[in-house]
Amino acid sequence: MSHEVTARKTKVIAVGNQKGGVAKTSNLIHIATALGEMGRRCLIFDLDMNQGATRHLGIPSESFLGTFEVLTGEEEPTDVIITPDDGVELPKNIHLIAARRNLEKIDQALAARDKFLVTQDVLINPLRKLAGMYDYIFLDTAPNATTPTIAAYKSADWFILSATPDPFAIAGLNDALTDIQGAQRYGNPNLRLLGVILCCVDSRTILASSLTEYVEKLFSDGSKSLKFDTLISRSTVVPQSQKLGKTIFQTAPNHKVTNQYRKLSKEIEARIAEFEEPVTTSTIKSAVSTKRGKK
C-alpha cells in the first residue's frame, strides 16, 4: 500500500488514565474525528489489547495486521495503516493502525526477538517513520502499565488525561501524573501534559460539580487550569454509536455532544499553539511538576 507523504508537522498525542471506564477511547476517537472534519489528517494508533479504538471504528477483530506486527518489527507501520482504500468506512481524514488480541503476547514476542531490546522504546522508530504524514497521531493506551502503554509515554509529545466525575477516575489521574513525570525523568523530557478532559458529566448533580471544581484546582499552575473548559456531557448517543462501530459524527452529527467535541478539538489546537510559543514552552511541564513537588 502506498501513502502520500506530505510536509506536515506531526504532533503525537497519547490519551489515557490509569483507570478503565473513563471514556478515553471515545474521547480520542471523537477528538480525532472532529479534527479530521476540520481538514486535519489524523492517524489513530490502537495500543490496547482490548482493541477499543479498532472496534469503535467498526473494524472486525483479527481482520488486519497492525500494532503487534509494527512493535515486533515484522511489518513497517506504513504497510499496515488502514484507510478507506481497504474497503472500510472511516471518518473523514482518519486512518488507523489496528490492535488485535495478539498484543497480549507482546512481551514474550519482544523478548524472543532480542533479549537486549529496550521495550519502552519500541514506538520511537515507528513514529519517526510516520512523521510528516499526519497532522496528528493519537496513541490509544491501555488503562494499565502494559509495554505499549509505557512506550506511549516514552514517545509522545503530549498527553491528554481523560476522566469522568467519579472519585476512582479522579484518583487515577494522580497515578497517570506520576507516570508522566517518570517518562520525563527517564527518556522523554519533552513530554507535556496538554490537559484534562472531563466527560460523561451531568452538571445537575452535586458530585459532578464538586469533582469538576476539584480537578480545576488540582491541575492549576497558579494562573491557569489544565482542565479543558469544554465538558463532554453524559449521553446515550455515544454508546449507541459504539455498538454500530461508528462515531457520533456519523450517527448524530448535530447532537450537542458532537458539537462539544468540535469545540474541544478547537480548544486543543489553540492550547497546543499557545504552549508551542517560545515564552510558554515550560508552562505545561512545570504545571505537572508542581503536583508532586518536583523542582
Instruction: State the pLDDT at residue 249.
Output: 97
295 part of a folded domain:
no
User: Which residue did the predictor score with more confidence, 293 or 207?
Assistant: 207
Residue 252 belongs to a domain with what CATH number? Answer: 3.40.50.300
The rounded distance, in Å, linking the Cα atoms of 110 and 199 is 36
What's the structural domain count of the chain?
A: 1
100 part of a folded domain:
yes
3 part of a folded domain:
no
Q: Which of 201, 177, 149, 152 is nearest to 22 (CA)?
A: 201
Instruction: State the pLDDT at residue 128.
Output: 96
Per residue in 209-235, pLDDT (tens digit) is 777 777 887 777 667 888 899 999 989
- Tell me how long the chain is: 295
Per residue in 222-280, pLDDT (tens digit) is 678 888 999 999 899 999 999 999 999 999 999 999 999 999 999 999 999 998 876 43
157 part of a folded domain:
yes
pTM value? Answer: 0.88
156 part of a folded domain:
yes
2 part of a folded domain:
no
The rounded distance, in Å, linking the Cα atoms of 159 and 223 is 20
Contacts of 146 (CB under 8 A, 6+ apart): 47, 48, 49, 103, 106
Beta carbons within 10 angstroms of residue 207's beta carbon: 11
Per residue in 86-142, pLDDT (tens digit) is 999 999 999 999 999 999 999 999 999 888 889 999 999 999 999 999 999 999 999
Phi then psi for 42, rounded to 5 degrees? -125, 140
**Residue 118: domain span:** 11-290
- Is the CB of residue 35 less than 8 Å from the CB of residue 168? no
